[in-house]
Amino acid sequence: MLQNPVHVVPHLAQNKRVHSIPFLLDAYILVYSKLLSKKWLKTAEELSSKSRAYRKFYNAMKSESTICTYSYCMVKFMEFLKSESHVNNIDEYDKLLDFDTEKITDVLEDFVSYMNKTKKSKSITVFLGSEELFFEMNRKIWHKKLVRKSVKKDNAEPGGKTPITTEEAKMMLDSAKHPRDKALIHFLASTGSRPAGILDPILRMKHLSYMPNPNNPIQESKWCYAVRIYDESKEGYWSFLTPEATTALERYFGWRKSIRHEEFNDETPVFSNFSNIAKLDYLEIHGMRQIIGKHIINSNLKRVKKGHRYDKAQNYMFRKRFNGILKMDNEVNSNIAEKLMAHKRGLDGTYLQPTKEECYREFVKAIPQLTIDPTERQKIEIETKQQKIDQLEAKTQTIDEQAKQIKELQIQQEDQARLLRLIEKYPRMQD
């Protein structure tokens, strides 16, 4: 029986003993998830070599995660079609091109009706995304709106709306003992990135660059990392790490160099595999989710379950926090805040293309609120306040100097006026 590439890995984070054997668990998770990904990548590649219709579908997918998910969804769709006698075998993708508009609509509606019995609307939408891409790439027409309207609406109150608090983020960091785990938590909290941000494409050292400390421009220290997310795509944007997140990532790099003897270059993954057994060169999304899930459990983070979801979504609670901080800080430019969230809204979202430096100036304003450690946050707040004081003093000094210059000009004008009066009174003075 085929297994779901997204949910096949057991939820090991639910095991209360997970903290006692992190190395073995992480190794297992990463090896298993990698093998599963390879399986679906191989399946998709084989199908593309056999079917012209599938090849068009395959070539339209840009990331490995999409290929794995969509190939699984299409196989499930073909299994359904076989059970309904629309195809004889699950690899008869070219036969789907014989379906006319009405039949495509009918089989998709039937498939949705079948999934409505067991799946949530969000999962059904993912499945439809794969089938729709297949038919679109093969220039087939169907009644898309009718199919979409047949997806049942979830009655349960949607979860995942509550952000993780700064205090809760610190609890997770305190539970994380390994430098990789600390660096990952800091990364998600500081960038507000979607999980795919580290994988599409794989985040590598070439995507990192240093930014200076605006509160101390003379200081040559490497204060913050700039991160290029979704590089070389139209969705690409700049994100940044706070000073404490930058320090955590540097410590993780140091651990890899000293303990694992890694040699770093531009192509080195920012987050590498944890186990030498796996022979992986980067941390996959399955491993990332297991890391976060483990520390949710170990930190005793309180989450309220709403239907099938929690109020704090495992993959997006850091993003919710990041969004709230940027939007509530009135000093942060709202348009650039949307850019830092990788949102596309309105004309500004389309035409506004701020530079890395412009984005960084706005990000810096939110650093105190984004910083998790209270001591570090207080330090930055003091530096920020001191900078504002220095700026005010500089302005005051400038104003005083300008007032002095004005006074001198007034004196000069008065002297010239007296001289003119004397000349008018005593014309001979001109001689």
Cβ atoms of residues 176 and 185 within 8 Å: yes
Cβ atoms of residues 205 and 268 within 8 Å: yes
What is the amino acid identity at position 18? V
Residue 20: what pLDDT? 38
Distance separating alpha carbons of residues 87 and 65, to the nearest angstrom: 27
**What Å distances lie between residue 406 and 101, 395, 418, 420, CA to CA?**
82, 16, 18, 21
Token pair for 271: 């987050």
Convert the pLDDT of each residue in 222-241 to its tens digit. Answer: 789 999 999 988 889 999 99
User: Taking 60 as the threshold, does the pLDDT of residue 40 lie above it?
Assistant: yes
User: Taking 50 as the threshold, does the pLDDT of residue 28 lie above it?
Assistant: no
Choose between 385 and 72: higher pLDDT.
72
Cα torsion for 105, 111, 117, 121, to the nearest 10°?
-70
**What Å distances lie between residue 80 and 6, 77, 109, 279, 408, CA to CA?**
19, 5, 12, 36, 91
Report helix angle 52-59 to 22-50, nearest 10: 130
Cis link prior to 10 (omega < 30° from 0)? no
Residue 9: what pLDDT? 32
Q: Which one-letter DSSP state was computed for residue 196?
A: G
Question: What is the mean pLDDT of the segment spanning 104-116?
Answer: 95
Distance separating alpha carbons of residues 295 and 301, to the nearest angstrom: 8
Choose between 287 and 50: higher pLDDT.
50
pLDDT band of 402, cuts 50, 70, 90: confident
pTM: 0.66
